[in-house]
Amino acid sequence: MSERSSHWQLQTIVSQLRSARDQWRAQNGRASGEQGGRELPSRAAMAEILEALCGALFPMRLGPVDLREESEDFYVGHTLDVALNALLAQTRLELRYVARHSAQDDSEVEARAIQIVQDFALALPGLRTLLDTDVLAAYHGDPAARSVDEVLLCYPGILAVIHHRLAHHLYRAGLPLLARISAEIAHSATGIDIHPGAQIGRSFFIDHGTGVVIGETAIIGERVRIYQAVTLGAKRFPADEDGQLQKGHPRHPIVEDDVVIYAGATILGRITIGKGSTIGGNVWLTRSVPAGANLTQANLQHDDGTQK
């Protein structure tokens, strides 16, 4: 170590950190550590993969600045080759991590990893077509949007939705950790938190977007538009006999087609927002509403000021 490093007592700190790691591993049944190398996927690697996939999906808008149209196919092919091989490596890591606690052998993991990434690659053209509906929904839904190019380059809601469409496919393919990493990268960049398990239909538009939260079991129909600070969350978290939270059960709202939800609305629980409804700003809603409803803070109040 350098002379300057001696000021920091690094040998002591490194030793104490080793002790803290060993203690945690012993308490959690991981006393052997990760002697064969890193076992978990890398957030940095997934960020590079997602950036490459965005470029491959929209090469002349999200690809390299010097790309020319006559080179588009070459760029897309090369970029996908690199990105998919990198995704395969991350997929192996997640599947091997899970397989440590099961009877799967390496050959089963490898075959499944290859199949998952092959299926993901084949889904990309359909995902691009689906994303085109989201871009058009943003363009037609915002009078300030001057072009679809502006929407794709500038709107945080579109970046969040691109990541979600990719993450949702990984989630359904059995890669919840890679899916969650992908979602959280977009969350960090945009302030929009969409769990990769959420099911979202075509032509989805998040306007402005900061503070939007969409939970794991939410189901959103087609042509839905939501604004900033909207929450589609859970009302309560049931626990089992041991007091542990029950996971996976439906606990988030169902939003049917053609619904608009304005800024600050909070919608909680497994309730249904009927087709064509409008939910006003800052509404707190814990009950289902019929198709075509128009709810505001004013029409949700009794004469005495309490909520209906």
> What CATH number should be reported for the domain holding residue 136?
1.10.3130.10
pLDDT of residue 2: 58
Last residue of a domain, one of 124, 157, 192: 192
Last residue of a domain, one of 162, 192, 222: 192
Same domain, 152 and 275: no
Q: How far apart are CA 300 and CA 287, in angstroms?
A: 11
The whole-model pTM stands at 0.89
Same domain, 188 and 47: yes
pLDDT of residue 182: 98
Spacing of C-alpha 284 from chain mean position: 24
Strand partners, 180: none
Residue 179 lies in a domain: yes
Helix, strand or coil, per DSSP, at residue 37: coil
Helix, strand or coil, per DSSP, at residue 114: helix
Residue 306 lies in a domain: no
- Rounded to whole angstroms, the maximal C-alpha distance in the chain is 75
Q: Could you give the dihedral angle defined by the CA atoms of residues 131, 135, 141 and 144, in that order, rounded to the nearest 10 degrees?
A: 160
Same domain, 53 and 181: yes
Same domain, 220 and 166: no
Last residue of a domain, one of 161, 192, 223: 192
Same domain, 49 and 172: yes
Domain of 242 in residue numbering reads as 211-298
Strand partners, 273: 255, 289
Q: How far apart are CA 20 and CA 197, in angstroms?
A: 34
pLDDT of residue 240: 73
CB contact at 8 A, 240 and 207: no
Given the DSSP bridges, would you call strands 294-295 and 272-273 parallel, antiparallel or unpaired? Answer: unpaired
Same domain, 107 and 216: no
Residue 3 lies in a domain: no
Same domain, 68 and 179: yes
Residue 123 lies in a domain: yes
247 phi/psi in degrees, rounded to 5? -110, 150
Burial class from Cβ neighbours inside 10 Å (0-12, 13-18, 19+) for residue 202 reads: middle
81 phi/psi in degrees, rounded to 5? -60, -45
Q: How far apart are CA 176 and CA 76, in angstroms?
A: 26
* Range 132-136, long-range pairs (CB < 8 A, 24+ positions): 133/202, 133/203, 133/204, 134/158, 134/161, 134/165, 134/202, 134/203, 134/204, 134/205, 136/203
pLDDT of residue 158: 98
Residue 307 lies in a domain: no
Token digits of residue 140: 């037609």
pLDDT of residue 107: 80
Same domain, 52 and 160: yes
Same domain, 261 and 218: yes
| DSSP for residue 267 | E
**CATH number for the domain that contains residue 221:** 2.160.10.10
Residue 114 lies in a domain: yes
pLDDT tens digits in sequence order for the chain, 308 residues long: 555 656 888 999 999 999 999 998 888 877 555 555 678 999 999 999 999 999 999 999 999 999 999 999 999 999 999 999 999 999 999 999 888 877 677 788 999 999 999 999 999 999 999 999 999 999 999 999 999 999 999 999 999 999 999 999 999 999 999 999 999 999 999 999 999 999 999 999 999 999 999 999 999 999 999 999 999 999 977 777 777 777 778 999 999 999 999 999 999 999 999 999 999 999 999 999 999 999 998 887 644 344 55
Same domain, 165 and 235: no
Same domain, 177 and 217: no
Same domain, 188 and 224: no
When divided into structural domains, the chain yields a total of 2
pLDDT of residue 307: 55
Residue 202 lies in a domain: no
Q: What is the number of other CB atoms lying within 10 angstroms of the CB of residue 23?
A: 11
Residue 205 lies in a domain: no
